[in-house]
Amino acid sequence: MLRKEDFEPNMKTEDKIPGAQTENPAQSQRFGDFIVKYMQNVQDTMELFPGASFRAINEIFGVLYVPLESMGEIEVTGTSYNSIPKCYTYMDMEAAGESGINRLHDHPYLKLRGKGTAVAVIDSGIDYQNEVFRNAGGSRIAYLWDQSIEEEEQNQSGRELEAENGDADNLPGDDIADTEVPYGKLFRKKDIDRALASEEPFAIVPSRDTNGHGTALAGIAAGNMVPGENFTGAAPEATLIIIKVKPAKQYLRNFYLYPPEAEAFQENDVMMAIAFAISQAKKLKMPLSICLGIGSSQGAHLGTNALSQYVDYVANFSQVSVSVAAGNEGNTRNHSTGIFSQGREQIVTELRVAEREQGFTIEFWGEPPEIYELSIQSPTGEILEVSSSIGSRTQELSFVFVETKVYVNYILIERQTGYSLVYIRFFHPASGIWKIFTQARNQQNVQFHIWLPVEGLISQDTYFLEPSPYTTVTAPGDARNSITATAYQHRDGSIYIAAGRGYTPDGMITPHLAAPGVNVKVPLVRGGFGTRSGTSISAAQTAGIAALLFEWAIIRDNQPFFTGSSVKYYLQRGARREENMQYPNPEWGYGRVDLYHTFELLT
């Protein structure tokens, strides 16, 4: 059996795990990744796959790396569904004063600016040269972990430092020869300061934010005050911990049928990033506010995805909070639902498929204890039935009049939720109107949900004809202990039209709070400012606000055992609410975040 002590986060996999490889399996395209728990018999599983290795995320979760050549085809079963990493993507498409932040920055007594706290942004990286992340002492970034940098790039940066310093053995702190991250490259503040002083900074710290999303979120959460631009981050004196998440592996992109241009990130890499941020904040002896501006519509939306479970776990730590985006699926038409009431025998769900759509997945989740019978009709009228009685092995539906192949896995009892899961993959789907016929064998008063992938991972012209905007908060916004932020227009007070709406299928309240997220000023890569919209913007501002609350509670010793849940409860109490509206509600949660009002209530 595996022992916890065999899998400490900083271990070297090749030292402790049989069958280790010279290449790093976390980055190699030759390995598949599976999320497992320690209580699962990982050792026996590894023995089935020569060359497999294991690495811990924390004391509960770990990642099993298996050579693709020994895996065979991926199959969705009751056992494997939660082990196959879900994929996440970006949740975005003058706000500080609206949330009561500016008054706290300048308050004669409080003057909260995030000093002594850490803000971690797990996203596309950061433009570390940008003025909003620098001060007189150099960079405000304590750690920058770029998961995407591979060995050849690491060697090059090491050679550049050797040339600059004259002797590789005399590098200050041995910063570049780092073993504290399981893959990719870790840069510390002194490395970044050295790069900033160089004429060729990327030769020393070769980490770039090619998207700009991470730079924007870091700026909103903790960017410097720039009076000439009327800009400030929520916590302008917080220390930054940045993790650039590596792209999802190609085998997983192929399995989920993502288009080539889609940007997607693996669940296990995000979990590794959270574990890293927590460990570094402990070294800094600072409370930590984590920002997650990514999301996924995969899973039952019940907080049972591995990432959602992990967020729940860490948000109960003392001095750790996790702010996440509610997602932008409210108006994408990527969700449909049906309710079987007495006498209703069949529900028809119509799906429009775009021209030249190469493929996509659908997840059908049905409430227990009902047994659901499904059949699928092509645009030509041909109907094929999905068997509910052959177990979870893959069913292939081949249509005569269209070239489309449909592969289905029917899981009668998904083990994390008790729901029925029907996992459907469309290969080269014919354009036009497809129909899914659903029957309830016992006609109980039950509900089912069907989700397409989130916007950005599927064509915008593939959608349900009768969608529901509710139950569209993306994971990990369905985590119970996260602070899930939706977005609103701070200029007129209206909800962001694309914002994901609650609740979860079992009635859990989400989102929790609303923060500005429409046309918000953000720093750009290579300098200057622009605007962005989306719930990830709201999550970033909420993460900065959480850092201010940590400064008051922990750094100033008012509430030294504050947890992420504590932050959420304080912000919910201080949220601004309209008199003619009932709260909480699926659009606004508990209302508009207002930290100043929270402090007014405390007095």
Q: Which fold has domain 335-464?
A: Jelly Rolls (2.60.120)
**Phi-psi category of 591—alpha, beta or left, where left has phi over 0 and alpha has psi -120 to 50?**
left
pLDDT tier at 2 (50, 70, 90 boundaries)? very low
Q: 233, 242 in Cβ contact below 8 A?
A: no
Query: What is each CA distance from 36 to 66, 68, 72, 478, 481, in whole angstroms?
Result: 12, 17, 19, 20, 22
Task: Answer yes or no: is pLDDT of 17 > 70.
Answer: no
Q: 19, 51 in Cβ contact below 8 A?
A: yes
Tell me the pLDDT tens digit for each residue of 39-56: 656 676 677 778 889 999
pLDDT tier at 344 (50, 70, 90 boundaries)? confident
Task: Answer yes or no: is pLDDT of 157 > 60.
Answer: no
Tell me the pLDDT tens digit for each residue of 415-467: 999 999 999 999 999 999 999 999 998 877 899 999 999 999 999 999 999 99
pLDDT of 168 reads 34
Tell me the pLDDT tens digit for each residue of 518-563: 999 999 999 999 999 999 999 999 999 999 999 999 999 999 889 9
pLDDT of 47 reads 72
Looking at domain 96-149+207-246+276-330+481-602, its CATH superfamily turns out to be: Peptidase S8/S53 domain (3.40.50.200)
Q: How wide is the angle at C-alpha 371 spanned by C-alphas 367 and 376, nearest 5°?
A: 100
pLDDT of 12 reads 36
Q: 223, 232 in Cβ contact below 8 A?
A: yes
Q: How wide is the angle at C-alpha 88 spanned by C-alphas 266 and 542, nearest 5°?
A: 120
pLDDT of 6 reads 32
d(CA 464, CA 483): 29
**Among residues 589, 541, 555, 543, which one has the least CA distance to residue 102?**
541
pLDDT tier at 591 (50, 70, 90 boundaries)? very high
Percentage with pLDDT > 70 across the chain: 88
Dig out the tokens for 570 from the structure. 């304080």
Domain ranges in the chain?
1-72, 96-149+207-246+276-330+481-602, 335-464
Tell me the pLDDT tens digit for each residue of 99-111: 556 666 766 667 7
Note the pTM of the prediction, 2 decimals.
Answer: 0.91
pLDDT of 171 reads 30
pLDDT tier at 87 (50, 70, 90 boundaries)? very high
